[in-house]
Every structure is written in structure tokens, then in C-alpha cells.
Amino acid sequence: DIQLTQSPSFLSASVGDRVTITCRASQGISSYLAWYQQKPGKAPKLLIYAASTLQSGVPSRFSGSGSGTEFTLTISSLQPEDFATYYCQQLNSYRTWTFGQGTKVEIK
Amino acid sequence: QVQLVQSGSELKKPGASVKVSCKASGYTFTSYAMNWVRQAPGQGLEWMGWINTNTGNPTYAQGFTGRFVFSLDTSVSTAYLQISSLKAEDTAVYYCARGEDVLLWFSSLLWGQGTMVTVSS
């Protein structure tokens, strides 16, 4: 089974900071990767799919990159509403999923 | 309005069973797969598996075979998750999540609000 490892698990940042989260896959997954944002008590929200395609309605300060085994989610200028936990997700045409362990972004 | 609405919180004793429902509205239920995701308190997301809403064929992730059953009632556009022989470690929020098609690379745009299942004596 494919494993996803996110780093860091926790980060403390200030409003306006540029933030980068990494997701590494245990084997190549092409661009079959999505990113979600989850706030406390809420369901996850899709931000990016196909590694770098921004879901409609998601602010352009979010961006994704990578392919194969290494992927990044970047928030170009952190806003107060961005403090949340972020998950990467491996996808495939067999419809099986795997999630990374999550990265919690907190206010410095 | 396109949405998934899940049943309410449950408090169960160890050894009991629970059935969580996920009612879809605003779209053709059988046009999309349905996934189930578990989130234990303070923990990350764990994919439990999915069910083909056309055929009713379920696929279970490792660790979710035996006590976990996915089912459907397409007449009311509802998916179900049943967990039997409940254990304390089943305490979690359970989400249903629509499986998108190839255009969204099989990700999930639509999630239920979550159902908290607490297992305690």
C-alpha cells in the first residue's frame, strides 16, 4: 500500500507568511494527489486536485505542485481564516484513497 | 441544494451495533461513488472504503473488514454504514464523502457533516 508522509506535522506562522507543506508518497503516484483543509468540527474541504489544479472558489494564494513522489502545498500569504489542518490525499482510478497524517497550521 | 446530510450523534455500549445514514440530495445519487472516512478524536482522516452506488458493490480498506458494512437504499438516495460489535476504539466522527469522477481525479468535493459515534459503558 502507498503511504503518504506530510511534513511538518505542526507549524506556527504569522498572518502574511508564506507557508509550504510537503507530502511524500512511498511510491510514484503521478499527479494523483489532492489537498484538503479541515477546520475544527467541520468536514474537510477540497482545495487542490491533480496535484496542482485549484478547485473552483478556492483563493489563488493556495497553490500545489509536484508529481511522482514529492508534492507541496503553498499558501503565499497566510490569512486568519487559513489556520486549520491540511491533509494530502492519494487518489487513483480504482477509487482507493490514502491520507497523509495532517499538518496543523497555528497562529504564531 | 447539493448536499449530504448524515444522521445524528450516537452513544452506544461496547458490543452493540450502530447504523449511520448519509442522505444525498441535489444530484443523481447513482452517478457518484460514496466513500466513508473515520476521524478518531484529535486524529487524522482514515479512509474506510467506498461503495459503488450503481451496483451496491462495496470495497473495504484494510482494517475495516468484518465488522463494517456499507449499504444503500437508492430509493431514498441514502448510503449507510453499519458497525457491529462496537469497541471503545470505534469512537470517532464518521464522514460520508462523495467520490467524484475522472474530471476531479476521483477526489471528493462533497462531504457530509459527520456523525459522532461514542462507544462507552
- How far is Cα of residue A33 from the mean position of the Cα atoms in its chain? 9
Q: Cell 508534492 sits at which residue?
A: A71
Residue A64 has pLDDT above 90, yes or no: yes
- Interface with B, mutate which of A55, A95, A98, A101 (most B CBs under 10 A): A95
* Chain A, chain B: beta-carbon pairs less than 8 Å apart: 63
Question: Which of the four pLDDT bands, split at 50, 70 and 90, describes residue A108?
Answer: confident
Greater confidence, B33 or B103? B33
Check if B35 contacts A (Cβ < 8 Å): yes
Cβ contacts of A42 within 8 Å, gap of 6 or more: none
What residues in B contact A34, CB-CB < 8 Å? 105, 107-108
Pairing of strands B58-60, B46-51: antiparallel
Question: What is the C-alpha separation between A41 and B9, in angstroms, rounded?
Answer: 13
Asked whether the beta carbons of B72 and B80 are under 8 A apart, the reply is: yes
Q: Of A29, A19, A13, whose CA–CA distance to A69 is shortest?
A: A29
Give the three-class secondary structure for B21: strand
Mean pLDDT of chain A: 96
Contact B107 A95 (CB under 8 A): no
Please report the residues numbered 37 through 66 in chain B whose beta carbons come closer than 8 angstroms to any beta carbon of chain A.
44-47, 50, 59, 61-62
What residues in A contact B95, CB-CB < 8 Å? 43-44
Question: Which of A22-26, B82-86, B99-103, B109-113 bottoms out in mean pLDDT, i.e. has the lowest?
Answer: B99-103
Asked whether the beta carbons of A102 and A85 are under 8 A apart, the reply is: yes
Question: What is the C-alpha separation between B73 and B24, in angstroms, rounded?
Answer: 11
Contact B111 A43 (CB under 8 A): yes
Contact B114 A43 (CB under 8 A): yes
Could you say which DSSP state residue B60 is in? Answer: E
| pLDDT digits 0-9 by tens, B36-94 | 999 999 999 999 999 999 999 999 999 999 999 999 999 999 999 999 999 999 999 99
Q: What percent of chain A has pLDDT over 70?
A: 100
Asked whether the beta carbons of B83 and B90 are under 8 A apart, the reply is: yes
Q: CA gyration radius for chain B?
A: 14
